[in-house]
Each structure stands twice: as structure tokens, then as C-alpha cells.
Chain A
């Protein structure tokens, strides 16, 4: 008998025949969401929100999944299997959103009560997704209650959120939710210290609305609206205005999509047209040197998929993904800001004095038909697939502006064929062997296509992923997976190494990368109130350019150990989380010289990324208690983050002449209390 995970896969492809076999007491699955997504891990929201350290936000569990590195302090970046943060894509019901978290992963940008499950595919996933060299994070929204009206109010030290949902007749259900973060306003009340330079707290908020319409038997239409914004403002004052620093950032997105689904005995159809906008603004000043990057992008797209059972042993999936992004971007400041992966710098180092300016537009239209077969050969399930990404990139200006001369744009079309395959071999009822491989591509980042700050001719980057390993079912609820993985990346945009680069070639597509490692996952699916997992990832990620040798990736983290456990005892839930992670690489300062023009010192560096920050470890605990008061359910929780008050060194910082090095330390023992009221 196959595991619940494989049953879930079968259900996805053969809805009618498999649904009767779906276990009803299983709330989470491991392994294969689709048969061609063999290294994905899915966590149901109900389980995820009891994990210590998530403050009840199920999406935050992503950071605890195998293969995910701990990001640098104060960052919500997702670093998956050694890929750069912006190479990993995040989706809600198949619609891409630009950011998963508010601020430094304080909270997810999608209301936790709308989330049904969180799935992480660290790599080697199927042909229905693409446009990224890294991993995938997929959120699915939950079905709304079929009867009556429900509401909840959730308040803790970080923010407050609320949601109202109800059924309008037999066919229509509706929900509205919102959240407002107040930590940025609470902190100044309790402390007069300026915390901004090292632990800036953004103001944030988000909103969601969902309408479900049951069109007929097995046929449904959802309309979903998502929105999120983050605001951050900080100033580091100085008696010398030329040393004063200030920064204001704003990031927001909106999405509106329809999701049509129709399931029948032999096939299923899903069509998701969507529309939205991404916006981000950075305004900073380092003394008199400005730094501004303003980006506004109108997004639209379509995701359509048809799955059918051609024969009892053969499933066929065909679909198309269309993604259009029209960006308008303004930038003023130094080439060095924002920093790029591979830049050799130290925390707090002032940017260069150079200032330039550009205003450019970028259109990226990506049309990707894809298909996949699922060939069931008894113990062997083979899923070959093919995706073809055709990317039309248009840039409003191919050379820097000269006076008032009209701009001359350019357009280029890139096509990438991306074969993919996944294989599952059920060696014994308890042992399976899983393997997957594929080619992946990623369009250029519009902010890299400036003729002044980047290169408008940059094309798509590509990667090859391979994953292989056994899956062992130790008991009915306990399983172990061991996965070896490797990625090779090419055509990565990197800074030109030339002292005098060619015009409009500040960036070149000459970077390459490789990442390889092994991850071990032992997972206890919910059973007798106990759930959790232990994951360990051993990896190495490197980058190179034609003029340099291989070096460690800026986010390389060779050892990541995570232990998560929750135990329900009556109305109580006790949870704990232990995280241990290697420190990120840093480049040592081996000397200095005095800059008499600015009265500051400049560092001289040793071998790139040849030292590391201290190893991080932290123990968190969580206690949940549910109370039923009449018709009202009250859930209260207390989380103690960093229970042992361990001092983690999060970043190196130097004195003014770089003769002494210290560390910025992480968050000490912190308690977070929250109350949730369900009506």
C-alpha cells in the first residue's frame, strides 16, 4: 500500500477513482503533490500554525522546511538549495506574488485563515511551473465554510487581523480579511532607543477577499483579491550632515484573479486569469549622495491546465502559462547600491560617491506551453514533461540618454526548451526511490535592464536541477526521506569586471553557479496529537565568473538543522523548534587606507567569502490553549523565542578604521503573546 502522499497524487490525477481512497485522518502529506513534483513538502495550515516561532502564521513554516537556508539578519529572503532569493517564486493558487513576507519575515502577506496549505518545492519540479532558477513556494487558499457566518479576531504583540466569512445561499460564499501591523508604533512607546539602524521595523498591512461560486456539479469559480504593503522609514542622525543616513522604502502588490475549476471522472480543467500591480520604492541618502529606485509594474497572466486519463496507465497534462510584466523604473544613485550578490563589502560601508540617473521601461512577455505524461508501470511511475518558454523582452532605451535625443529601444526574443522528468520507483511497500531532473529558465530582472546601471540586452538565465533519493515509510505516520541534489546555473547577471566597460554593459550575463548537497527529512505526520519533523541539509553553493575562480555563494550555508515538534494534550498544544545553521560567508578585512576626501577609511579585503559568521542556534517554545466560552472559541498562545537567551552573532561590524571587529547580536529571549477569538 502506498503512502498517503502517493494517494494524494493519484487523487490529483484520477479524481473520481481515487477520492474514495483518500484517508480522512491525514491532514498533511509528504512527497509528491503531483507525481512529477517528487521533492516537494506540503504542510497543512492547521499543523503549521502550531509550530513554535510562527506566531500562528502557517506560511512562516516555510523557513523551517528542508533545503531552506536561514537568511541574513533582518531579511525575509528565501534561499532554497543555494539559489539566490529572487530566483525562488511564490504563488497563491498558481498566481505569482512578489513577496511572501512582510518586513523581516514578521508575517506572511496572505492572511493565515485563508491559507489551506503551504508547499515548498526546492527544485526539480514539474513542467507546469517555471520562470525561476530556484524553488517554488505555493500557497493554496482554503475553501470557505459552506454554511452560516464566521468571524475571527486575532491580536498579538506584532499585529492584529480579522476575517469575516459567510455563505450567501447554497452556491455563493464570501470572505473578507485584513491585517494591520503595529510593532513599529509600539516599540517607540517602550524604548527611547533608536533601534532603526540594526532592527528596523516596517509598518505593514494586507487585505484579502474571496468569493466562491459553485457553478454546478464539480464546477466552481473563485474570485480572489489580494493586497499587501510595507513601509519603512529610518534615519541615522549625525552631527555632520555629510554622514547622516536616511532610508525610506515602500513595497506593495495587488492581485485580482479568477480561478475556474471543473472536475469530471476522467479529466480536470483549471483556468486562472489574473491581473495586478507590483510597486517598490527606495529613497535613501548617504550624506549628500542620493539613492533612489522606484519601480512600478503592471502584471497580468493566465494559467490554464487540462489533466486527463488517456488510459488506465497513462495520464496527460497540458497547459499554458502566460505572464506579462510592464515595468516603469527610475533610478538615481551609485552603481553600488543596491548591492548585488558577489559584491565585496562590509556591513555599514558607505556607498560610492558616483551618481547617475536613468528612467527606463521594460516589457517582459513570457508564454510557456507545457505538457506532462504520467506513465504508471506498476511499481514505476515515470513522468516526462516538456515546457517551452518564449520570452519577448522589450526595453525602452538601449543606450544612455544623450541630451534630449529620443530614446531608441530594443526587443529580443529568447526561447528555451525545458525538458523535465520525474521517476518514482516503489521498491517495496515501505521503500521508494524518487528522482527528478529538469531544465529551468528565468527572464531578466527588469531592474537589471537599465542602459546606465545594467545591460538592456540581458537574456534569460538557465539552470539544470537533479534530485535523487530514497523515501522510507518507517511507520504509518513516520517517514524518512533522503535527497541528494545538484543545480548548475548559467548566464547569471554579474557586474562587468572591466575597468572601462562597454556602454550599456555594466552587467554581463557571464556568471555561473553550482549548488549541491544532501537533505534528510524525518517527518511525523499528525498522529495521536503528535506532529513535527527533523530536517538536516548539507550543501555547498558557489559562483564564478570568467575572470575569477569558484567562490562561495554569498548565502552559502553548509549545515542547516531544524527540529519541529508539537504535541496536543486536551485543550493544550505544546510546541518547540530548534534551529541550528552555519553562519553566512563574509569577506575578511585585512587592511585599510584613509580617504582624506571624505574623512573615512576604506577597507582592503582578503579572500572573498573566506570567513563565516558564528553558527546560529535558537530554541523556541510555544503553548496554545483553547477555551470555549458559549459559542465563542478563544485561543491564546504564548511563544518564547530564543528560550535560552543565546547570543547569536548576526553580522560583523567594524570600527571606523577597520582595526577592530565586533558583532551585531540577534534577538534575545522574547515573549510573544496572542489571543484569537472565533465567533
Chain B
């Protein structure tokens, strides 16, 4: 599963779970999710749970950060790297 597929899955999850009814085109790969206050702590934990369940790895506490999860692009890169470990 490449990064693009991961990003697509994540985008679908975010739209369905947090942004129902919103224009998908506005949820770009580089839109800040955490620093842009779209995802708060509860939403971030839901996203973490989704990623763990979908891709079969466990987050460490320090990995739940804007550096890894702020944009769909960053999420895709992070998941791809973690899955290789």
C-alpha cells in the first residue's frame, strides 16, 4: 500500500467522521488539521485509533503530534514509515 492509498483512506475517514457534508475538494493534502483546529485532542485520538486498527501498528505517545499528523500528507508519510518498521 503506497502513500497515496493511505492518504485517500485517511481523507475518506476524516470526511466521514469529522466533516460530513463538507466539500471534499477543500480537504487538501496540505490543509493543517491539528494546527488549523479542525482536529482537537479527541478527534486526534479517534484518528490514531483508526490508523492503528487499519494499518496494524501502535502509536507511542510522543508520536501523537502535529509533526506526524497535522496534514494528510504528513499522516501518509508517517504511516508508510511506521509500517516498514
Q: Is this pair of chains taken from one and the same complex?
A: no
